[in-house]
Amino acid sequence: MRGAAVVVDDGVREVDLLIEAGRVSALGDVPRAREELDATGLTVFPGIVDAHVHLNEPGRTEWEGFAAGTAGAAAGGTTTVCDMPLNSLPPTLDRTSFEAKRTALESGAVVDVALWGGATSAEATLEELRDAGALGVKVFMSDSGAPEFPRLEDDGLRAILARAGSLGLLVAVHAEDEATLRQAHGARPPDAEIHAVRRLLGFAAAAKARVHVVHASNADVVDEVVAARHAGVDATVETCPHYLVFDDAEVARHGALLKCAPPIRDDAARERLWERVLRGDVDLIASDHSPSTRELKSGDIRSAWGGVTGVQTLLPAMLTEAVYARGLPLPALARLLSHGPARRLGLAPQKGAIAVGADADLVLIDLEREWTFESSMLHARSGLSPYVGRRFRGAIRRTLLRGATPRRGRLIRPVART
């Protein structure tokens, strides 16, 4: 590949790329290849590693599924999705359900897929999930909304953190405090997140566990994680595009399309969260793509399904809002979307960066091009997305998975940790 500006770890460089057997084999002055790709005028970004999606297969394929979800991923420049253990039936709680996911993704996914396991009791099969190749285990401190995926009480959470800590297994936590939510009678105040994350980080410190706080909706959660990290806790935090792009006024306008948990906050909270992203406090940005059927997503917001459709728009939304609107350098965005998640989830050095030896997972972008996201472009099965009609700057010209147009995804396992 010749002529492109390539986003590497420490900058953007005009270098040529040689791809052999699906991997980057040289960067810089490369010899003539059998097939030459002229990418003059384009910027090449490492394929996005979306650390948090719900593709709901097997079991709730009418909500999304590997085929539709990964088609959207590929169209949006995402070459690896990390599928959450819940909303599929069965949830990914042991080797049998892990293998059911593997079978489903190997026949349906067009991009690579890594799988989170889940822990819903102190007796969860952590060793089995680790040996099967799970990225880690997801737990809930509040009601998950899926009856087959119960939350952990504090005793169970502490037990899981201790066991996972001794296995070196990452624990991803939905941190909202159930008692605070109940007192708030259907509202989901920021306090519910703060109370939960403080308790979690205290438990994690005691257990010497590796924890990852998913979908922080506000800056105070990020600040708690950063403070704990300074105190020596192995903790990271993610946020999602919908908390950065939208505010509560837009939730009022879009209704159920933007219902999620924790909820989208007000404009002031959004700007404080942006400050944390821009100064490097947030470890990664993931879509938390969680569609459902059109029926479950329409009508009264109180009874609608909570989850935002976003796997396809992660990179365009962040190019527009982070790079153009707020001046985030491209390598910093690559750290948030590709390298950061790959490293934290154990998928580096195979995934997450453009480097010799890594998979040639690449996104070719026309950075200056402005365009509108139309519903006809959307791959989600529901046909619904809050991003429809939005203007983006930065158009994805082509996505390459292991050097070729994405057609057949594989299960990717994290590298073993000791």
Instruction: Find the shortest distance in angstroms from Cβ 194 to Zn ion.
Output: 19
User: Taking the complex as a whole, how short is the minimal distance between the CB of residue 63 and Zn ion, in angstroms?
Assistant: 13
Q: Shortest gap between Cβ of 313 and Zn ion (angstroms)?
A: 16
Q: Which is nearer to Zn ion, 176 or 359 (CB)?
A: 176
Query: How are the residues of the chain apportioned to helix, strand and coil, as percentages rounded to the nearest 5?
Result: 35, 20, 45
**Distance in Å, CB of 140 to Zn ion, minimum:** 10
Task: Give Cβ neighbours of residue 315 (< 8 Å, ≥ 6 apart).
Answer: 45, 48, 76, 77, 78, 337, 363, 394, 396
Alpha helix locations (H) across 237-322?
241-245, 248-254, 267-278, 314-318
Q: Which of 330, 302, 63, 349 is nearest to 186 (CA)?
A: 302
Cβ partners under 8 Å of residue 79, min gap 6: 47, 48, 49, 73, 111, 112, 351, 359, 361, 362, 363, 399, 400, 401, 406
Least distance from C-beta 402 to Zn ion, angstroms? 27
Cβ contact 319:397 at 8 Å: no
| Cα separation values, 369 from 42, 45, 372, Å | 11, 16, 10
56 vs 320, which CB is nearer to Zn ion?
A: 56
The answer to whether the beta carbons of residues 214 and 288 sit under 8 Å apart is yes
Q: Name which of 97 and 144 has its Cβ closer to Zn ion.
A: 144
CA distances from 17 to 81, 314, 331, 356, 408 (A): 24, 25, 18, 9, 23
DSSP 8-class letter at 337: I
The sign of the torsion formed by the CA atoms of 171, 126, 56, 142 equals negative
What distances in angstroms separate CA 381 from CA 53, 103, 141, 310, 318, one per listed residue?
Answer: 14, 20, 29, 12, 23
DSSP-derived pairing of the beta strands 11-14 and 43-46: unpaired
Beta bridge mates, 173:
139, 213
Nearer to Zn ion, 1 or 51 (CB): 51
Q: Please identify, using beta-carbon distances, which residue of 98 and 140 lies nearer to Zn ion.
A: 140
Closest to Zn ion by CB, 114 vs 328, is 114
Instruction: Using the minimum distance from each CB to Zn ion, give the nearer residue, 54 or 158.
Output: 54
Smallest distance, Zn ion to C-beta of residue 42, A: 32
Alpha-carbon span 312 to 385, nearest angstrom:
10
β-sheet bridge partners, residue 375: none
Quick count: other Cβ atoms within 10 Å of Cβ 307? Answer: 24
Taking the least distance from each CB to Zn ion, the nearer of 288 and 321 is 288
The nearest distance, CB 166 to Zn ion, in angstroms, is: 26
Nearer residue to Zn ion within complex by CB, 291 or 346: 291
- Site residues, Zn ion (CB under 5 A): 288
* Nearest to 144, CA basis, from 118, 183, 113, 171: 118
Minimum Å gap between C-beta 288 and Zn ion is 4
Between helices 219-230 and 267-278, what is the axis angle to 10°? 30
Smallest separation, CB 139 to Zn ion (Å): 12
Q: 316 with 240: CB under 8 angstroms?
A: no
Give 43 or 88: the residue with its C-beta nearer to Zn ion: 88
Chain residue at closest Cβ approach to Zn ion: 288
Give least dist CB 352 to Zn ion, A: 20
